[in-house]
């Protein structure tokens, strides 16, 4: 029987961190399934899913915890019962606008109020091509519940876009 582990990883960014992590997982018969990792604010940060034989899961968790001595903090969470997304429809949301506090909060509130799950969210700040001002960009993969009123969601997002002076596209 296999056990699924969700790992959250953070440490000072330096070469070799992914190798240390992957070697530790491999030594304990783990299989690296999915991940998202990046450099944020001078730190290496990531989240990944590992499948490991149930008999090796505890030893792997201990070995991952011991990586803190090498500067890598790893938190593990067992995921024996994966949640089902049956009956949910995928959607994509894109947003671009001048950076200001509260953009993510406003969008997250609108989505949560409609029971829409944020499956992934990528954000970045870029320099505007003409003005040089900071532009905030976001892309989100969403899972919407059955029976969601798409027109009502679109109106709510348009109101937020107008209020925050950003462009929001929902597909």
| Topology of domain 2-78, CATH | Alpha-Beta Plaits (3.30.70)
pLDDT for res 128? 76
0.85 cut: is pTM over it? no
Query: Which tens digit of pLDDT belongs to each residue from 86-103?
Result: 779 999 999 999 999 999
CA quadruple 104, 105, 109, 115: dihedral positive or negative?
positive
Which residue ranges in the chain fall short of pLDDT 70?
A: 80-85
CATH number for the domain formed by residue range(s) 88-170: 3.30.70.260
Q: Structural domain boundaries of the chain?
A: 2-78, 88-170
In the sheet with 117-127, reading across from the earlier edge strand, the strands are 117-127, 134-145, 88-98, 166-170
pLDDT of residue 102: 93
**Would the CA dihedral through 136, 143, 171, 160 be positive or negative?**
negative
Predicted confidence (pLDDT) per residue in 34-54, tens digit = 999 999 999 999 999 999 999
């Amino acid at each position: 029987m296999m056990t699924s582990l969700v790992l959250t990883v953070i440490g000072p960014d330096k070469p070799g961190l992914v190798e240390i992590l992957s070697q530790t997982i491999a030594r304990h018969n783990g299989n690296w399934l999915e991940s998202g990792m990046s450099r944020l604010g001078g730190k290496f940060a990531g989240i990944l899913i590992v499948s490991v034989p149930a008999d090796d899961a505890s030893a792997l968790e201990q070995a991952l915890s011991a990586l803190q001595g090498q500067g890598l903090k790893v938190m593990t969470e067992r995921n024996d019962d994966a949640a089902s997304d049956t009956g949910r429809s995928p959607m994509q949301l894109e947003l671009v606008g001048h950076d200001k506090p509260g953009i993510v909060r406003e969008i997250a509130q609108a989505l949560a109020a409609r029971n829409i799950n944020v499956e992934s969210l990528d954000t970045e700040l870029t320099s505007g091509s003409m003005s040089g001002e900071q532009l905030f960009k976001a892309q989100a993969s969403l899972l919407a519940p059955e029976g969601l009123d798409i027109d009502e969601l679109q109106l709510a997002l348009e109101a937020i876009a107008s209020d925050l002076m950003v462009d929001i596209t929902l597909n």
